[in-house]
Amino acid sequence: MSAHAAAGSANSPSPAASTSTAAVPDTSVEVRPVTEAEFPDWMRAKGTGFLMADRITEEDVALRLGRTDLSRTLGAFEAGRCVATYRSFEQQLTVPGGQFVAAGAVTSVTVSPTHRRRGLLGRMIRDDLAKARDRGEVVATLIAAEYPIYGRYGFGHATSTVEWEIDTHRTGLDPRWAGPECGGRVDLVEPEDVRKSGPELHERLRARKPGAIDRRTAWWEDRTGLTSFSSEPYKAAFYAVYRAPESAGGEVEGLVKYGADDKWGDGKQPLNTVQVHDLIATTPAAERALWRYLCSIDWVAKVRTGYRAPDDLVPELLPDPRAARVVTSADWLWVRVLDVVRALEARTYSAGGGARSVVLEVADPLGLAGGRFRLDVSADGAGRCVATEEAAELALDVRELGALYLGGRSAERMLALGQVREAGPGAAARVDALFRTPREPWCPDIF
């Protein structure tokens, strides 16, 4: 999970001061929501778990407290000292078809090294997931620090990510480029402009991108330097927007935030790397123009794209796609279905050909969302889901349902891996025909 939120009090005892590696009976540790008075210690414990304890200030604690719903912030306490942390918050997740579903976003998960593997994560996450379901949240989401942690709690790897490094000298792009050919323009803008135009642009993006999540005002304030945590100090950056041609309204259709290092080789060779921190665009023209812009900045030898969808256009926007080398390819957003009927009815399906129904047997070891469900898809792609006694066609764990939910993973592949079971032939293929989306889901953010 993101270590971005890690923080604690600089005045708290040092992490090692009062912890012990002696075996502690489980009952000596109490798991419960933290109080305001305990919040600095909770932050100190979180910093310990994320190996960031020495970079936390009182200002960080105060800023974080103002943004934290303490009723959803759990701590594990032993003799008054916090030894494990966990938090969830309300989030909106875009599903295929563009609807936003209510998600409980899980973050700040840590267990101090002195208290690991005694079931503390299990106690916190079971408690929170049951409450999330009772609150009416349709799914829970998280970004996993390590792959093996969350499957046991019903989370499935639902979106993936890729980062490319582009060798700008190998792209085959015309070095004389002087701006978008389409009549649109790329303009450098200031952080305050981003706070004005960015949120509206992102709202348009997330309505059309399954896997995207909402961004709050604080997200924009942190990313543009209005607020800053000492554990993640704001670094000045460049911002550029793409505007459509005046004839088409001149609207902002894309935004990029990027930084650059300052590196020169022997013989006065410029070897600078541009790191993209955020690039969102609502049209292919905007994507093309912004990547073209980044690959054409003088002195820049490499562009690191940041974490993109695996089917991002960027490599093939280059005349020579091999100029873009994959440097990271990994799981990203994990989804845990809490309410099968509402989840399956919130998204749309591909209703193109063949049978348009399937009966799923969903196993949920935590007892939150399991059962047998029939999904019927109408000609317009809407789904209707009901509990049923009919014979199941595909049996799967709620973890695999979460993985399939956003349309980016394959039931046929899961069948080959032994992760789902068919009761009748062709059920996995039918699920894929219904669930899979033409483009990969993508979550541009970490939390």
Ligand X SMILES: CC(C)(COP(=O)(O)OP(=O)(O)OC[C@H]1O[C@@H](n2cnc3c(N)ncnc32)[C@H](O)[C@@H]1OP(=O)(O)O)[C@@H](O)C(=O)NCCC(=O)NCCS
Which residues carry out catalysis?
150, 447
Among 36, 146, 262, 389, binds ligand X (CB under 6 A): 146
The region of 36-44, 141-149, 186-194, 214-222 touching ligand X under the rule CB under 6 A is: 141-149
Q: Give min distance, CB of 143 to ligand X, in A.
A: 7
DSSP label at residue 152:
G
CB 161 within 8 A of CB 312: no
How many other C-beta atoms are found inside a 10 Å radius of the C-beta of residue 319?
11
Residue 46 or 347: which CB sits closer to ligand X? 46
How far apart are alpha carbons 41 and 12 in whole angstroms?
A: 7
The yes or no reply on residue 199 touching ligand X (CB under 6 A) is no
Point out the residue whose Cβ comes nearest to ligand X. Answer: 1
Restricting to residues 152-181, name those near ligand X by CB under 6 A: 152
The yes or no reply on residue 122 touching ligand X (CB under 6 A) is yes
DSSP label at residue 382:
B
CB 374 within 8 A of CB 339: no
The yes or no reply on residue 381 touching ligand X (CB under 6 A) is no
Among 28, 71, 80, 117, binds ligand X (CB under 6 A): 117
Q: Give min distance, CB of 423 to ligand X, in A.
A: 28
Residue 116 or 204: which CB sits closer to ligand X? 116
Among 120, 290, 343, 362, binds ligand X (CB under 6 A): 120
The yes or no reply on residue 426 touching ligand X (CB under 6 A) is no
Q: What share of the chain is helix, strand, coil (3-state, %, to 5)?
A: 30, 30, 40
Query: What is the pattern of x (binds ligand X, CB under 6 A) and - over residues 38-77?
Result: -----------x----------------------------
CA 295 and chain centroid, separation:
26
Residue 242 or 334: which CB sits closer to ligand X? 334
CB 274 within 8 A of CB 300: yes
Tell the residue number behind the tokens 């992490």, with chain if given.
Answer: 15
Helix, strand or coil, per DSSP, at residue 369: coil
Half-sphere exposure (CA, 13 Å, Cβ side) for 365? 11
Q: Give min distance, CB of 333 to ligand X, in A.
A: 12
Amino acid, res. 299: W
The yes or no reply on residue 140 touching ligand X (CB under 6 A) is no
DSSP label at residue 346:
H
The yes or no reply on residue 407 touching ligand X (CB under 6 A) is no
The yes or no reply on residue 121 touching ligand X (CB under 6 A) is yes
CA 444 and chain centroid, separation:
6
Restricting to residues 86-115, name those near ligand X by CB under 6 A: 109-111
The yes or no reply on residue 298 touching ligand X (CB under 6 A) is no
Q: Give min distance, CB of 248 to ligand X, in A.
A: 43
The yes or no reply on residue 116 touching ligand X (CB under 6 A) is yes
Cα dihedral 280→284→285→289 (10° resolution): 50
Among 24, 31, 65, 149, binds ligand X (CB under 6 A): 149
Instruction: Please tell me the count of residues contacting ligand X according to CB under 6 A.
Output: 18
DSSP bridge partners of 318: none
How far apart are alpha carbons 100 and 338 in whole angstroms?
A: 15
The yes or no reply on residue 404 touching ligand X (CB under 6 A) is no
Among 31, 145, 351, 395, binds ligand X (CB under 6 A): 145
Q: What are phi and psi of 152, to 5 degrees?
A: -65, -20
Residue 331 or 376: which CB sits closer to ligand X? 331
Q: Are strands 100-111 and 139-143 parallel, antiparallel or unpaired?
A: parallel
How far apart are alpha carbons 223 and 446 in whole angstroms?
A: 12
Which residues of the shown chain bind ligand X in the complex (CB under 6 A)?
1, 49, 109-111, 116-122, 144-146, 148-149, 152
